[in-house]
Structure 1
Amino acid sequence: MELVWLEDFNALAQSGNFSRAAELRHVTQPAFSRRIRALETWVGVDLFERTTQGATLTDAGQHVLANAQEMTRRVYQMRQEAREVAGKQARSLHFAATHSLSFTFFPGWVRAAERTSPIEAIRLHSDNMRACEQMLLGGEVQFLLCHQHPEVPPLFPAESFYSKVVGSDVLIPLAAGALGLSPEPTSGGPQPLLGYTAESGLGRIVSARLRKEPQPPHLQTVFSSHLAAVLLSMALEGKGFAWLPRTLAEPEMTNGKLCRALDEHWDIPMEIRLFRPSMALSDFAEDFWAKL
C-alpha cells in the first residue's frame, strides 16, 4: 500500500474521470491508471466501474471511500504535528482558497481573525475549486475558503466536514460600458458570454442558477477560464460579459469601467464559507476555529 494510491483514489472518486483526475494529480493518464489498478490489485477487488462516460465507484469502492479520505487526512495531520512538536515547523494554519478570494477577501479576513486569535504562521494554497476540494479531502490543508451557494454543495461528504459562514458576496453580470449588450437577454441574438470552466466553483454556481431559470438567457460562450480575474480582464477589453464576484470587480464598477450587462434579477448572492474536516485538528487550529 502506498499513500499516493489513496490520494489517486480520492481524486478519481471526486472527479469521476481518469483524465481530469490525472491532471489534478499532475501525472500522465497512463501512469495514473496504473496506480489505480495497483490499488485495486492490493485490495483484491475492482473499486471503479469503467465506462466510456468515465468511472463510477463500485459498492466496494463506496465502502473504501470514507476510510481512504480519513486515512490520508490523518497521515498529513500526523506529519504536520510531528514537525511542530520537534520544532521543525512553526505552528501553522494551512488554508486552501479559490483564486478570487485569495486576492480579495483572504488578506483582510485573516487580519481581522488574528485580533482574537494570534497566528504564528500561515500557508495559503491558491487554486481552482476542484483542486482546493482535493487538498482538503487529502488532508494537505486544514481549512478551505470558498464561495458557496445553497443549491451547489461542495464535492465532498457533508457529514465529514464542518463549515462556518465568514462573509458574503454576489455574482453580478458585468461588461465594459461600451459593449452595448441587449437589456433583454432572452430575446434577440446570443449574448457573448465570458464563462467559467468546469474546474471553477463560480462556474458551478452560475450553471445552477441558469438551470433554474424558466427562460434562460440566450448566451454564446466566446471565452472561458477558471480564473475570475482573467474573465474580468476580458470584460474590460470588451470581449463579452461575465458573472463576476463583487469582491473582485467593485473597483471597476465604482470607476465606471464595468457596468451591468443584465439587471438585478440575474445577480447571484453567495456565502463565503470556511470548511474543515470533522476530525480533530491540532490544538492550535482548533483554537483558531473556536474563536472565529
Structure 2
Amino acid sequence: MELVWLEDFNALAQSGNFSRAAELRHVTQPAFSRRIRALETWVGVDLFDRTTQGATLTDAGRHMLGSAQEMTRRLYQMRQEAREVAGKEARTLHFAATHSLSFTFFPGWVRAAERSSPIEAIRLHSDNMRVCEQMLLGGDVQFLLCHQHPDVPPQFAAQSFHSKVVGSDWLMPLQAQQIEHSSGTEPLSLLGYTAESGLGRIVSARLRQEASPPSLHTVFSSHLAAVLLSMALEGKGFAWLPKTLAEPEIASGKLVRALDEHWDIPVEIRLFRPTMALSAFAEEFWAKL
C-alpha cells in the first residue's frame, strides 16, 4: 500500500475523469491508470466503474472515500506537526486560494486579520478551484479561500470541513464599453470559464436555474478570471467577472454591463478548513477570525 495510491484515488473520485485526474497528479494517464489498478488489486475489489463518459465510484469506492480522504489528511498533518516540533514550520499558515482572490482579496484580508493576531509566516498557493480543493483534501494546506454560492457546494464531504464567511462579492456580466450587440435572436458572445474553475460552476448553476436563459455562444474559455477580463477589455465578448477584480475597470467606464442586474450573482468569500485539529497557531488564527 502506498500513500500516492490514496492521493490518486481521491483525485479520480473528485474529477470523475482519468485524464483530468492524471493532470492534477502530474503523471501520464497510463501511469495513473496503473496506480489506480494497483490500489484496486490491493483492496481486492473494483473501486470505479469505467465508462466512455468517465469513472464513477462503485459502492465499495464510495464506502472507502471518506476514510481515504481522512487518512491522507492525517498523514500530512502528522508530518506538519513533526516539522513544527522541530521548529521548521512553527507559526506558519498554509493557504490555497483561487487566482482572482489571491490577487485582489487575500492581501488586504490578511493585513486586517493580523491586527488581532500577528502572523509570522504565510505560504500561499494560488491555482484554480479544482487544484485548490485537491490541496485541501490532500493535507497540503490548512485553509482554502474561495468564492462560494449556497447552491454550488464544494467537491468534498461537507461533514469533514468547517468554513467561515470572510467576505462577499458579486459576479457581474461585463463587456467593453464599445461593444454593441446585434438585435434579434443572435447569441451573445460569452467568455466562459473552464471546468476547473469554481466561478464557472457558479455561473453554470445560475443559468440552469433560469426558465429562459440568454442565448449564449462561448467564443473563449479560461479558468482565470483575469484572462477573461483582459479578453473582455479587448471587445471579444462578455464575461461574468468578480466585482472585486473588475472594480477599477467598472469605475473608469472601460467595462459596462452586458446584461441587467437580474443576472448579477451574489457570492460569499469563504475560508474552509478540515474538522480535524490543526496546529496550535492555526487554531488560534481560526478562532480569532
What TM-score does the superposition give when structure 1 sets the normalisation length?
A: 0.97
| Structure-to-structure mapping, 1:260-279, within 5 angstroms | 260-279=257-276
**Aligned partners of 1:146, 1:275: CA distance in 2, in Å?**
8
2:44 corresponding residue in structure 1 = 44
Shift of 1:247: 0.3
Say yes or no: does 1:222 pair with 2:232: no
Shift of 1:181: 2.7
Q: Name the aligned partner's letter for residue 218 of structure 1.
A: S
Secondary structure in structure 2 of the residue aligned to 1:271: strand
Q: Name the aligned partner's letter for residue 34 of structure 1.
A: R
Say yes or no: does 1:5 pair with 2:2: no
Shift of 1:59: 1.4
1:159 corresponding residue in structure 2 = 159
| Structure-to-structure mapping, 1:67-106, within 5 angstroms | 67-106=67-106
**Aligned partners of 2:179, 2:279: CA distance in 1, in Å?**
52
1:177 corresponding residue in structure 2 = 177
**Aligned partners of 1:204, 1:279: CA distance in 2, in Å?**
27
Shift of 1:88: 2.2
Q: Which moved more, 1:35-44 or 1:228-237?
A: 35-44
C-alpha distance after superposition, 1:72-107 (max 9, x if no partner): 111111111111111223321111000000000000
**Aligned partners of 2:101, 2:114: CA distance in 1, in Å?**
18
C-alpha distance after superposition, 1:18-47 (max 9, x if no partner): 111001111110000001011111111111
What TM-score does the superposition give when structure 2 sets the normalisation length?
A: 0.98
**Aligned partners of 1:212, 1:62: CA distance in 2, in Å?**
29
Shift of 1:153: 0.4
Shift of 1:274: 0.3
C-alpha distance after superposition, 1:32-75 (max 9, x if no partner): 00010111111111111111111111111111111110111111
**Aligned partners of 2:213, 2:63: CA distance in 1, in Å?**
40
**Aligned partners of 1:170, 1:55: CA distance in 2, in Å?**
34
Secondary structure in structure 1 of the residue aligned to 2:118: coil
**Aligned partners of 1:217, 1:263: CA distance in 2, in Å?**
11
1:207 corresponding residue in structure 2 = 204
Give the gaps of 5 or more residues in structure 1: none
C-alpha distance after superposition, 1:151-171 (max 9, x if no partner): 000000111111000000000
Q: Which moved more, 1:51-60 or 1:240-249?
A: 51-60
Q: Name the aligned partner's letter for residue 159 of structure 1.
A: Q
**Aligned partners of 2:69, 2:139: CA distance in 1, in Å?**
8
Q: 1:198 aligns with which of 195, 199, 207?
A: 195
| Structure-to-structure mapping, 1:45-64, within 5 angstroms | 45-64=45-64
**Aligned partners of 1:120, 1:39: CA distance in 2, in Å?**
40
Secondary structure in structure 2 of the residue aligned to 1:193: strand
**Aligned partners of 2:152, 2:173: CA distance in 1, in Å?**
19
Shift of 1:283: 0.9
Q: Name the aligned partner's letter for residue 17 of structure 1.
A: N
C-alpha distance after superposition, 1:248-277 (max 9, x if no partner): 000000011111111101000000000011
1:239 corresponding residue in structure 2 = 236
Secondary structure in structure 2 of the residue aligned to 1:259: strand
Q: Which moved more, 1:275-284 or 1:80-89?
A: 80-89
C-alpha distance after superposition, 1:273-292 (max 9, x if no partner): 00011111111111110000
Give the gaps of 5 or more residues in structure 2: none
Structure 1 segments, 4+ long, off by >4 Å, are none
**Aligned partners of 2:70, 2:197: CA distance in 1, in Å?**
25
- Number of residue-to-residue matches in the alignment: 289
